Amino acid sequence: MSKKVAIVWRYLADYRIPFYRGLKGYLAQRDIELKLIFGPTNGNGSADDVQIALPWANCVSHWSISVGGLEVCWQPYVSYIRDADLVIVEQANRLLLNYWLIAKRHFSRQKIAFWGHGRDLQTGPGTVRNAWKKLFINHVDWWFAYSAEVKETIIKSAFVAERITNVQNAIDTDALRSVKAAMSAQQLDSLRKELGLGSGPVGIYCGRVYKEKRIEFLLEACFGIRKHIPSFEVIIVGGGPDQDKIIAATREAEWIHYVGPKFGDARVPYFLLSDVSLVPGAVGLAIIDCFALEVPLMTTKFPYHGPEVGYLKNRENGLMTEDDLESYVTGVSGMLVDREGLERLKRGCRAAASIYTMKAMIENFGRGVLTCLET
């Protein structure tokens, strides 16, 4: 009899679609059925997009309430996961279904696994949120950790290392690579003229524009870099609550080029006109794009990065300075005038791009599922 694995998620972003499609194929080849149950709302794409791309997945409504600033969510998915040999859930304090699964684990042969960060990365390690997460960190049969650093965090909580899979979280960059390869010098020159770019060097910020991305810090840093390198210019791609700050800065500085939100392949030419990617705030999966497009990411020792910041090797495939404006400006400026050093970082990006791939993530996750079922 074939085994069944269920992954339960509050909602699914569209960038996860290639992963789930690949994982289903990987497991099917090994006579394991993958079930996917998710909620109808999300902040990146739509549930309809997921349902069309993954017709075998189940989109089921859930409900949430907030009491005194504390949100709890009930996912009525019990009937969908009853026959699963392994249920993989998001490690999140608010999900009541997780506690139900943990409670019945001692009376059932069904295995439970967490997939997550090990702790809340947006708060300090000593907070109530993280204390609560740590309380339940060992009450599962398996762990799917986002990165090697997350795996170490879980091990420190006394979870058995052999029952932790380092997923090596990634996104599919094949389309970005294809667009990059097809982009002609003439097309890039045309865009350069359209933007009014000078001789450079050029930095880029591409992503959502909100508090955790530290847009004010980014703009101050750009003005600082401009003082060191008078020909420096920056392209800012994205939209969000703090975009008015960028628009105001463009009135003061014609060398700040704000192009608004661009999605998917449309982002590529702006990266290809740039020497470095400037992300002084929270770094997440965007680092994978930077590797694929060979535009080294420059950040700081900001305490609230996503786990993917662990892929950055300082002065090998990117730059991480101390978390203050002067250090960041000095570090980025120094790298922009060190053409040999910049080429070294680009070679590092190419090497990293061959490691942090969707194929590797699917294989890592798939092997973890197989080992968990066999254990």
pLDDT digits (tens, 9 = 90+) for 278-323: 999 999 999 999 999 999 999 999 999 999 999 999 999 999 999 9
Task: Look over the chain and give the mean of its residue pLDDT values, rounded to a whole number.
Answer: 94
The pTM of the full predicted model, rounded to 2 decimals, is: 0.93
Length of the chain, please? 375
Residue 83 CB-density burial (10 A; 0-12 exposed, 13-18 middle, 19+ buried):
exposed
Distance CA 219, CA 221 (A): 5
Report pLDDT for 69. Answer: 76
Nearest C-alpha neighbor of 153 from the set 300, 355, 310 = 310
- The model's confidence at residue 123, banded by pLDDT at 50, 70 and 90, is confident
Most trustworthy range by pLDDT among 126-130, 198-202, 267-271: 267-271
Same domain, 264 and 166: no
Mean per-residue pLDDT, 316-340? 97
Q: What CATH number has the domain bearing residue 47? A: 3.40.50.2000
Domain interval for residue 368: 3-170+357-374
Same domain, 141 and 284: no
Are 4 and 33 in contact by the 8 Å Cβ rule? The answer is yes
Same domain, 208 and 348: yes
Distance CA 72, CA 70 (A): 7
Same domain, 26 and 62: yes
> Could you tell me which residue, 125 or 344, shows the higher pLDDT?
344
Report pLDDT for 374. Answer: 94
Same domain, 157 and 255: no
Mean per-residue pLDDT, 231-258? 96
Same domain, 345 and 290: yes
Distance CA 310, CA 75 (A): 32
Helix (H) or strand (E) holding 63: strand 63-67
Residue 240 pLDDT > 80, yes or no?
yes
Report pLDDT for 248. Answer: 96
Residue 217 pLDDT > 80, yes or no?
yes
Between the two ends of the chain, the Cα-to-Cα distance in Å is: 17
Residue 196 CB-density burial (10 A; 0-12 exposed, 13-18 middle, 19+ buried):
exposed
- The model's confidence at residue 50, banded by pLDDT at 50, 70 and 90, is confident
Same domain, 179 and 161: no
Residue written as token pair 């910049």: 342
Same domain, 106 and 211: no
Q: How many domains does the chain have?
A: 2
Same domain, 147 and 178: no
Are 372 and 142 in contact by the 8 Å Cβ rule? The answer is yes
Same domain, 318 and 186: yes
Same domain, 261 and 149: no
